[in-house]
Amino acid sequence: MNFQLNGKQVELPEVVDSVEKLLTHYHLQSRIAVVEVNKEIVRKEEYETKKLSNGDVVEIIHFVGGG
């Protein structure tokens, strides 16, 4: 699987084909995060069912310190 993930091209095993599996791959399941695929926000309930395909643009977003 080839994605553009947070601005970087990444090549991941073929089994990483859903948002859920992508988060697990990076050990992010328990983190406070928001996922966007091709500029569309993926709701948490859809993590398992939201399939990823080659060429998808994925953003994993979180909250950082700011004023």
Partner 1 sequence: MLTIANRTFQSRLLLGTGKYPSFEIQKEAVTQSETEILTFAVRRMNIFEESQPNFLEQLDLNKYTLLPNTAGAKTAEEAVRIAKLAKASGLCDMIKVEVIGDQRTLLPDPVETLKASEMLLEEGFIVLPYTSDDVVLAKRLEDLGVHAVMPGASPIGSGKGIINPLNLSFIIEQSKVPVIVDAGIGSPKDVAYAMELGADGVLLNTAVSGAKDPIKMAQAVKYALEAGRLGYEAGRMEEKDYAVASSPTTGMVGS
Query: By CB under 8 A, is residue 66 in contact with partner 1?
Result: yes
| Binding status of residue 11 toward partner 1 by CB under 8 A | no
Cβ-Cβ contacts under 8 Å for 28 (sequence gap 6 or more): 60
How far CA 50 is from CA of 7, 60, 63, 65, in Å, comes to 20, 14, 23, 30
Residues 43-62 that bind partner 1 (CB under 8 A): 43-44, 59-62
Shortest distance, position 6 Cβ to partner 1, whole Å: 4
21: enclosing H helix or E strand? helix 19-25
Q: Which residues bind partner 1 (CB under 8 A)?
A: 5-8, 26-28, 31-34, 36, 39, 41, 43-44, 59-67
